[in-house]
Amino acid sequence: MKDKIVKLLRKIKYDYTYGLFDLFRRRERSLLTVYEPTSLRHVSVDACRSEDALILISATYPAVEDHPHTLSRLTEGHAISPMAEGAIRTLIASCERECGETILFTSTYRTLAFQSSIYGVNPYAAKPGESEHHSGLVADIKVDGYAQRRFIMSKTGKWMAKHAHEYGFIIRYPLWGEKKTGVDYEPWHLRYVGKPHAEIMYREKLVLESYLERLEQAPFFRFGDTVISAQRGDTLVIPNGVENVCVSQNTRGGYILWFTIPSAE
């Protein structure tokens, strides 16, 4: 009973005291509008620019192999996908300038073997293959004196909760998303999904799982000058006249593609 009370008090202190901003933040609606192109053409996946920023790795969709590409070194022992390197460096520089605290990496990319070694000594850790760290798109961070749940008590933790999306990152496991993700609140866990996805997810309060499901509700969605589409198969469908199509696997048996259209359309 005593342990349960202590656990509850800690949850109240870290989650409901310092995490209230994000828990009660107003959710915006209808940022995505259905888009209906007048004419379409087919393109292959290989003809698009690979930006696998929306890969979903979880207990339901485990990784089966290590990251297939060379990663970019951040600091000694820490690496991230090249597509996220510039964004994470800019994000950290901006945050340190605003908050005056030095940000340290605690964990970034992990191989399956390394995750296995962690799980071997900590059965509460994610099983090998089920950790988002296999994606190469994650950075766990801290500042001096504020690690893990205490991170949200720091200036940096609060700033990240409000501004990470502006740089293409989300707090992957928010307090309000525990039921959907199956993972407890982790204010220190940054996940790169890129623009404009991070902004949409932040403003509509969608976790990655919910965002991917949302995109399957219509063939094409529009957000500003960007069109986003969830599709399956090796041949994708895009509007005529569109170039520079980005595509990401979603680990759910399909792809997410997005591209810019003229403002006048």
In this prediction the pTM is 0.92
Half-sphere exposure of 255 (CA within 13 A, CB side): 23
Q: How far apart are CA 194 and CA 175, in angstroms?
A: 21
Q: Is the residue at 72 inside a domain?
A: yes
Q: How far apart are CA 197 and CA 141, in angstroms?
A: 22
Together in a domain, 20 and 110: yes
Ranges of beta strands (E only) in 62-160 are 72-75, 78-80, 103-107, 138-143
CB-CB contact of 257 with 245 (8 Å) = yes
Together in a domain, 6 and 79: yes
Together in a domain, 19 and 121: yes
Q: Is the residue at 203 inside a domain?
A: no
Together in a domain, 17 and 120: yes
| The pLDDT value given to residue 114 | 95
Q: What is the pLDDT of residues 170-214, one digit of tens each?
A: 999 998 999 999 998 999 999 999 999 999 999 999 999 999 999
Q: How far apart are CA 160 and CA 155, in angstroms?
A: 9
* C-alpha 200 chain-centroid distance: 12
Together in a domain, 68 and 105: yes
Q: Is the residue at 213 inside a domain?
A: yes
Residue 131: name the closest of 52, 60, 62 by CA.
Answer: 62
Together in a domain, 135 and 13: yes
Domain boundary among 192, 216, 250: 192
CATH number for the domain harbouring residue 168: 3.30.1380.10
Domain boundary among 192, 222, 245: 192
Q: Is the residue at 22 inside a domain?
A: yes
Q: Which residues are catalytic?
A: 186
Q: Which residues contact 65 (CB under 8 A, 6 or more apart)?
A: 112
CB-CB contact of 79 with 73 (8 Å) = yes
Together in a domain, 74 and 177: yes
Together in a domain, 4 and 108: yes
Q: Is the residue at 69 inside a domain?
A: yes
Other CB atoms closer than 10 Å to residue 114's CB: what's the count?
16
- For residue 103, the cross-strand partners are 143
Does residue 265 surpass a pLDDT of 60? no
Together in a domain, 104 and 129: yes
Together in a domain, 45 and 83: no
Dihedral through CA 210, CA 211, CA 215, CA 216, nearest 10? -20
Mean pLDDT of the chain: 92
Q: What is the pLDDT of residues 125-159, one digit of tens each?
A: 999 999 999 999 999 999 999 988 889 989 999 99
Together in a domain, 35 and 92: no
| The pLDDT value given to residue 74 | 97
Q: Is the residue at 200 inside a domain?
A: no
Q: Give the confidence band of 12 by pLDDT, cuts at 50, 70, 90.
A: low
Q: Is the residue at 87 inside a domain?
A: yes
Q: Is the residue at 201 inside a domain?
A: no
Range of the domain at 84: 1-26+63-192
Together in a domain, 148 and 42: no
| The pLDDT value given to residue 54 | 97
Does residue 103 surpass a pLDDT of 90? yes
If one counts the domains in the chain, the total is 2
| The pLDDT value given to residue 213 | 95
